[in-house]
Amino acid sequence: MSDLNNDQRQDEIRRGQAFINQVYQKMSRIAQEFASGEINRTQFHRLYNRYQRQIMTVAQMIAESDPTGWQEALASAETESTVHLKQRLAAKAVGISIYNNRTGMPIETIGDFSIDPELIVPMLSSYREAAAEIFHAGVRSTEMENGQWLCFMAGAYTTLIVLFSVEPAGNQIAMLDHLHRDFEIANAEFLEYGYTSPDQLAYPFYSFINQSNIPTDDGDYE
């Protein structure tokens, strides 16, 4: 505003620069969250780009003769909070299918696992071949044509296949791997002797389907 004196203008510039420094810290935190498996790549890219836009907006405003408008510019540019954005872009487990390693047949399906078996069978066969060559081959993930992701993880008796809405974060994969191990421990007597009637087994996976994602609290202008 034209009636601002120099001290007021400098104060607004300092506020803007302090905000920029805070956003840089958030960018570093997002990088750490991705590295530790807390968020997926889509969340990382969208959030990181969001923070870059915020820095560019504020830097441009404080470089102009009237630096007071940066807060208003941010408020009008950002229509969704970081919390909501992160939750919206988080992967959700849509469906789970458990296959018997011995017979190659599905034991049980939980949720909406609407994948054509003709597509699953060759993918499962390929995964098992890789797992046989590499002990504890771990999780194999692949993106589907519709943007959903399939994740395969092998156990002693079964192979768990999980359909995600988008690419899952590392922590989600780690939790599923743990749930799969617990599934085999809980049902070891049935699985070891090949008795795999679905209504006799215990399933640790129910709460994972369509679970809520961990919220964060990043403050204003997220």
Q: What is the CATH number of the domain that holds 162?
A: 3.30.450.240
Per the domain annotation, does 215 fall within a domain? Answer: no
pLDDT at 221: 47
List per-block mean pLDDT (blocks of 10 residues) for the chain, which spans 222 residues: 66 87 93 93 91 87 71 71 81 90 86 78 68 56 85 89 91 90 92 80 83 44 51
The single-letter DSSP state of residue 92 is -
Asked whether residue 154 falls in the same domain as residue 105, the answer is: yes
Query: 185 lies in a domain?
Result: yes
Structure tokens at 48: 């990181």
Q: Compute CA distances 96 → 7, 84, 186, 209, whole Å.
A: 62, 26, 18, 8
Q: Are residues 77 and 99 in the same domain?
A: no
CB atoms within 10 A of CB 38: 21
Decide if 168 is inside a domain: yes
Are 97 and 189 in a shared domain? Answer: yes
Let me know whether 109 and 198 are in one domain.
Answer: yes
Are 62 and 141 members of one domain? Answer: no
CB 58 within 8 A of CB 16: yes
| Number of independent structural domains in the chain | 2
Could you list the beta-strand ranges (E) of 72-198.
93-100, 106-111, 140-143, 149-154, 158-164
pTM (two decimals): 0.71
Q: What is the pLDDT of residue 142?
A: 82
| Amino acid present at 95 | G
| Whether residue 116 sits in one domain with residue 198 | yes
Of the three residues 89, 107, 128, the one that is the final residue of a domain is 89
User: 89, 122, 147: which is the final residue of a domain?
Assistant: 89
Residue 220 lies inside a defined structural domain of this protein: no
| Residue 1 within any structural domain of the chain | no
Instruction: Return d(Cα 156, Cα 184) in angstroms, integer.
Output: 8
Q: Are 186 and 202 in contact (CB under 8 A)?
A: yes
pLDDT at site 36: 92
Give yes or no: residues 185 and 139 share one domain. Answer: yes
Residues 6+ apart with CB under 8 A from 37: 169, 170, 171, 172, 173, 174
Residue 164 to residue 121: CA distance in whole angstroms: 18
Domain that holds residue 186: 93-208
pLDDT tens per residue across span 48-88: 998 998 888 888 887 775 667 777 777 766 767 777 888 88
122 in the same domain as 42: no
Residue 190 and residue 108 share a domain: yes
**Domain final position from 49, 64, 89:** 89
Token reading at 190 = 């049935």
Which amino acid belongs to residue 122? Answer: P
User: Do residues 68 and 164 share a domain?
Assistant: no
61/134 same-domain check: no
32 and 122 fall within a common domain: no
The predicted structure's pLDDT at residue 67:
67
